[in-house]
Amino acid sequence: MDFQMMRVQSLSEGGIAEVPAQYIQLPEERPPISDDLTVIDNSDEDNVPMIDVFGFASEQRDTVCKLIGDACAQWGAFHITNHGVPFELLDQIRGVGLSFFKDCPVKDKLKYACDPNSPASQGYGSKMLRPEAEAEAETSTVLDWRDYFDHHTLPLSRRDPSRWPHFPSNYRQVVAYYSDELKLVAQKLLGLISESLGLPTSCIEDAVGEFYQNITISYYPACPQPHLTLGLQSHSDMGAITLLIQDHVGGLQIFKDSRWITVHPQSHAILVILADQMEVIEPLLMFSFSVINMFFRSLVGLTAVFS
């Protein structure tokens, strides 16, 4: 069987008993596992901050700025609630993403396959290698146990819904609406982060420049040997800021204080993650934030990366 050419979902649903060698992580890269093969968890008290942004209302702005500034400095990540994105939309984007992977026939999914030779290609794919692995011989690479669909959504000149799935029927409409709503949230958050540093509201957004947004829907199929694999290997996100919603399964972890900490799913909260571009512009703004490493083990995860 040619494992290299097969999607992870096909491997999972094909009933394999052992993980192909390409997906087996080095022992030092594997998550801590207990005797019953579950990920060793942290306490609820030791988790990323949860910040109520009160719909970004001006009356609460000073309080929210302080909380966001502290979370950025101490964690590099935080959940937000009362963010203004309709709960129905969050449920819809999770729903259409899961339906595409679970209900759409493979032959139809392959019509939207991304170009495997282009690192920036949008579409349906399965392969994401660590930068250091890409420079090594192909036989030494380690693959992520996930399939994904990457959408180029902003600026509008990059947005081409005809390259997005037609199934389910409202897929394209939901992704476009989700993109527009998260752009508004990202702009408001960058303004709050700027203000938390005593800077003009538009300072960080001006430093970032025109928004480039990619939305990635990741699907992590069941794995016969989960203690050997990772859904998404440890990494930091490119861009300036990542907005992420999880499903109920969980599995996302961030690296803080020399250990991995599980980020518990919050159904209608948005996880905000500072990305690499923040580290680049940090010297220009004269501040210090935590930029995190993370890995993923979950069923469905949706990320919107802004750069």
- The CATH number linked to 71 is 2.60.120.330
How far is Cα 199 from Cα 189, in angstroms, rounded to an integer? 13
CB 159 within 8 A of CB 215: no
% the chain with pLDDT above 90: 50
Is residue 150 in a domain?
A: yes
Least confident residue range of 40-44, 101-105, 243-247, 266-270 = 40-44
Q: What is the mean pLDDT of the chain?
A: 83
- 31 occurs within a structural domain: no
Please report the DSSP string for 159-212 in residue order.
--GGGS---STTHHHHHHHHHHHHHHHHHHHHHHHHHHTT--TTHHHHHH-S--
Residue 137 has pLDDT above 50, yes or no: no
Show the domain range for 75: 49-115+124-306
Secondary structure of residue 37 in the 3-state scheme: coil
pLDDT at 33: 60
Predicted confidence (pLDDT) at residue 131 exceeds the cutoff of 50 = no
pLDDT at 305 over 70: no
Pairing of strands 294-296, 259-262: unpaired
Supply the pLDDT for residue 243: 94
Residue 151 corresponds to which tokens in the numbers above? 């959408």
Domain membership of residue 279 (yes or no) is yes
Q: Does a structural domain hold residue 29?
A: no
Q: Other CB atoms closer than 10 Å to residue 114's CB: what's the count?
A: 19
Q: What is the domain count for the chain?
A: 1
Summarize the confidence of residues 182-197 as an average pLDDT. Answer: 95
In a domain, 17, yes or no: no
Residue 124 is predicted with a pLDDT of 94
Q: Is residue 12 part of a domain?
A: no
Q: Is residue 225 part of a domain?
A: yes
pTM score: 0.86
Helix and strand numbers (H, E) in the chain are 8, 12
When pLDDT is cut at 50, 70 and 90, the band that residue 127 belongs to is low
What pLDDT is recorded for position 121?
83
pLDDT tens digits for range 224-252: 998 898 888 877 777 789 999 988 877 78
**Average pLDDT of span 175-183:** 97
Q: Is residue 95 part of a domain?
A: yes
Mean per-residue pLDDT, 58-77: 94
